[in-house]
């Protein structure tokens, strides 16, 4: 087989030259490594991006992109969806059906299946809904995510840390410490009520259409947003929300909340946002109350999202739990009281006497829990006494 034939066999669709980082249009479109041009309005960037993305669906369904998406889906694992196919079966299925599913998507004949509804308990009470797509739909959503992220991530705020490559919760905590250390010890703590369940589909699609020129891709995303939710064998249609559990949901949520980020930047606020968890740092309680009132109006009137007033408020930094941590005046960090309670609850669960497992297995699970907890909370520099207390409690 000739070299050219082998190359054709590996990928029958040529990757768009737009994604070649030697192409100047790639950087204009905001691709990976693109330098932000602060002199250009975001709307202008999106308009230029829309012109350059008229055939983006071919890139989504490129064999190389699909293979990368498969690797990520396989790595993430998780349960299968309503069709019963498990993650471990996806590779064999793809070998037999990849050409067919590519053709169906590119010709707009593919229809996503309903997502499986799963309710999981929240640490502070209540339940959170997860929507588990089939592994095939997870593959396609991951493929879309990988391509769209090249465009949107470079446009996102430097103060946004959730679900972004090269960014983490630890970076958000470190940035928050800088703000508190500078004297901004009062925190406007915004809690969006059931954010993932209440995203307005029409507003989201309108925002996407400003930056994506391929209408076929837009229609595919819309079908994923409108895919039904299966509960006890019955499919319920969905008119709002991007349920947690799908690979596409984190990126879509960042696209929605980027408008909030840009508004906060426009007003000159210093803030950290991780997904729907947003804290704004100010000098006084009075200033915080003014910011809070103004932001609630903006979020509910302009973004059409609901603020949970019971959980939101203006608090001193010592009263705030942000990503499991509490930041102290001066910028020191400790583990929040809620996080300590969750650890103790988990330890009680692992060490129940009526579990019916060997003592060696209990020790193995316990070590896994403690190592994971300690690794996540390694930023805390005010925690030695806490660790001693927990250690003593655990031994008792």
Taking only the tens of pLDDT, the chain with its 396 residues reads: 444 444 444 443 333 333 333 343 334 333 434 444 443 466 678 888 888 888 999 999 999 999 999 999 999 999 899 999 999 999 999 999 999 999 999 999 999 999 888 887 776 667 777 889 999 999 999 999 999 999 999 999 999 999 999 999 999 999 999 999 999 999 999 999 888 777 888 889 999 999 999 999 999 999 998 887 777 666 666 666 677 788 999 999 999 999 999 999 999 999 999 998 999 999 999 999 999 999 999 999 998 899 999 989 999 999 999 999 999 999 999 999 999 999 999 999 998 888 888 889 999 999 999 999 989 999 998 876 777 888 788 887
Query: Any bridge partners for residue 316, and if so which?
Result: 186
**Interatomic CA distance for residues 129 and 123, integer angstroms:** 13
**In Å, what is the CA distance from 347 to each residue of 83, 134, 325, 362?**
36, 33, 19, 10
The whole-number pLDDT of residue 34 equals 40
Q: What is the pLDDT, as a whole number, of residue 29?
A: 39
What would the two tokens of residue 164 be?
């972004």
Helices (H) and strands (E) in the chain, counts: 16, 10
Contacts of 15 (CB under 8 A, 6+ apart): 59, 62, 64
> If you search the block for the tokens 């983490």, which residue do you land on?
168
pLDDT on residue 234:
67
Q: Are 35 and 27 in contact (CB under 8 A)?
A: yes
Question: Which SS3 state, helix, strand or coil, does residue 121 take?
Answer: strand
How is residue 154 annotated by DSSP? G
Distance CA 335, CA 262 (A): 30
Of residues 239, 62, 255, 70, the one with CA closest to residue 154: 255
DSSP reduced 3-state for 207: helix
Dihedral angle sign, alpha carbons of residues 68, 160, 23, 213: positive
Structure tokens at 107: 């010709």
129 and 46 Cβ atoms separated by less than 8 Å: no
Among candidates 346, 329, 343, which has minimal Cα distance to 377?
Answer: 343
Give the Cα separation of 331 and 252 in Å (integer): 32
- Other beta carbons within 10 Å of 189: 21
């Amino acid at each position: 087989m000739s070299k050219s034939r082998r190359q054709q066999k590996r990928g029958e669709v040529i990757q768009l030259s737009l994604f070649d980082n030697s192409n100047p249009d790639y950087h204009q479109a905001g691709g990976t490594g693109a330098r932000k041009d602060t002199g250009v309005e975001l709307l202008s960037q999106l308009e230029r991006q829309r012109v350059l993305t008229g055939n983006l669906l071919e890139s989504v369904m490129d064999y190389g992109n699909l293979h990368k998406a498969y690797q990520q889906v396989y790595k993430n694992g998780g349960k299968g969806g309503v069709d019963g196919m498990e993650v471990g079966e996806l590779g064999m299925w793809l070998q037999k059906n990849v050409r067919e599913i590519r053709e169906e998507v590119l010709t707009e004949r593919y229809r996503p299946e309903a997502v499986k509804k799963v309710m999981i308990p929240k640490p502070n009470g209540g339940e959170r809904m997860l929507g588990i797509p089939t592994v095939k739909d997870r593959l396609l959503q991951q493929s879309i995510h990988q391509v769209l992220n090249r465009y949107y991530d470079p446009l996102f705020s430097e103060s946004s840390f959730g679900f972004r490559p090269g960014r983490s919760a630890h970076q958000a905590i470190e940035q928050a410490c800088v703000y508190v250390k500078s004297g901004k010890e009062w925190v406007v703590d915004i809690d969006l009520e059931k954010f993932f369940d209440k995203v307005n589909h029409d507003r989201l699609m309108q925002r996407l259409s400003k930056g994506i020129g391929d209408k076929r891709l837009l229609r595919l995303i819309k079908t994923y947003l409108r895919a039904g939710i299966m509960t006890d064998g019955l499919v319920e249609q969905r008119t709002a929300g991007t349920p947690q559990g799908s690979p596409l949901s984190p990126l879509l949520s960042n696209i929605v909340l980027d408008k909030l980020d840009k508004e906060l930047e426009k007003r000159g606020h210093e803030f950290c946002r991780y997904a729907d968890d947003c804290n704004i740092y100010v000098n006084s309680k009075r200033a915080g109350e003014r910011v809070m009132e103004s932001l609630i109006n903006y979020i509910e009137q302009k973004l059409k999202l609901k603020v949970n007033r019971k959980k939101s408020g203006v608090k001193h930094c010592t009263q705030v739990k942000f990503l499991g941590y509490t930041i102290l005046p001066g910028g020191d960090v400790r583990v929040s009281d809620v996080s300590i309670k969750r650890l103790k609850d988990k330890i009680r669960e692992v060490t129940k006497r009526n579990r019916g497992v060997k003592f060696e297995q209990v020790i193995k699970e316990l070590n896994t829990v403690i190592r994971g907890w300690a690794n996540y909370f390694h930023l805390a520099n005010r925690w030695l006494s806490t660790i001693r207390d927990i250690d003593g409690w655990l031994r008792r």
